[in-house]
Amino acid sequence: MSVEQRLQEICQEISVCQRCALAKGRINAVPGEGPAQVEIMFIGEAPGFHENKQGKPFVGQAGQFLDELLKAAGLERDQVFITNVVKCRPPNNRDPLPEELAACQSYLDEQIALLKPEVIVTLGRISMAKFINAGRISSIHGRTHNVNGQKVVTMYHPAAALHQPALRQTLIEDFARLKRFIGTKGAQEEAVEVEPKTVFKQEIKTIKLDSEVQEQKPPEQLSLF
């Protein structure tokens, strides 16, 4: 199975997921979208009103600003993978509950494992909290962290600038600095060591990818980790 096929399969699984109560209220699950070969992966919080309607991430007002921010970084949407920590809309856009985060976790972990992005950009504190234990977004926004060998850049959520216009320029400047990661997959970038959270390591289905077959790995099922 190719990475593309498995990513597609995960989308199908998410679209009919019944792991938590958010399934009851959704119009569409929002698995995320983007190509299978990406340098940068963006992770937001959860779908909002418009995302729930359309089944696509960041298509509302915050999404329009995200498009501007991507431009500031010299990126187009079709160059990056965009998803959320939670794939269904919480009622009235409340913060996802711990049980909802737990129910959705393996989907995102497998997306990350398949994409192997050079950099993960977290959008907002809920996404940041998946990777980083301590630190306030106001003091670590725009910074690069090394989390178990994965570069993670912690950004304000684009919606924050809709409520606090002063953050608009901060976000633009933080995004502009992402340019240093474009075209540099594998290049070394100084990263701040932080105490990692337990991520990427829980049990997931093992699958065999074409890339691994071409590398003449033994024919048995290979773990992604």
Is 51 one of the binding residues for ligand URA (CB under 6 A)?
Answer: yes
Q: Which residue in the set 84, 111, 150, 154 belongs to the binding site for ligand URA (CB under 6 A)?
A: 84
Render the burial of 147-184: b for 16+ CB within 10 Å, e for the rest. Answer: beebbbbbbbbbbbbeeeeebbebbbebbeebeebbee
Is 117 one of the binding residues for ligand URA (CB under 6 A)?
Answer: no
- Contacts with ligand URA by CB under 6 A: the residue count is 13
Query: Where does this chain touch ligand URA (CB under 6 A) — which range of 58-66, 72-80, 171-179, 214-222?
Result: 58-66
Closest CA to 62 of 138, 154, 142, 162: 162
Query: Which of 48, 117 has the CB closer to ligand URA?
Result: 48
Binding track, positions 123-162, relative to ligand URA; x by CB under 6 A: ------------------------------------x---
Tell me how far, at minimum, the Cβ of 221 lies from ligand URA, in Å: 33
Is 58 one of the binding residues for ligand URA (CB under 6 A)?
Answer: yes
Tell me how far, at minimum, the Cβ of 45 lies from ligand URA, in Å: 3
What DSSP string describes 149-205? TEEEEEE--HHHHHH-TTHHHHHHHHHHGGGGGTT-TT-----EE-PBPS-S-S---
Is 34 one of the binding residues for ligand URA (CB under 6 A)?
Answer: no
Q: Which residue in the set 31, 34, 47, 90 belongs to the binding site for ligand URA (CB under 6 A)?
A: 47
Query: Which of 84, 154 has the CB closer to ligand URA?
Result: 84
Is 62 one of the binding residues for ligand URA (CB under 6 A)?
Answer: yes
Query: Which of 55, 117 has the CB closer to ligand URA?
Result: 55
- Structure-block tokens of residue 196: 């990692």
Query: Which of 58, 107 has the CB closer to ligand URA?
Result: 58
Closest CA to 154 of 127, 176, 134, 173: 127
- Structure-block tokens of residue 75: 């990126």
Q: Which residue in the set 31, 34, 55, 57 belongs to the binding site for ligand URA (CB under 6 A)?
A: 57
Query: Contact 130/85 with Cβ under 8 angstroms?
Result: yes
Closest CA to 127 of 23, 197, 179: 197
Which residues, other chains included, contact 114 with Cβ-Cβ below 8 Å and sequence gap of 6+?
3, 6, 7, 10, 36, 209, 224
Interface with ligand URA by CB under 6 A: which residues? 44-48, 51, 57-58, 60, 62-63, 84, 159
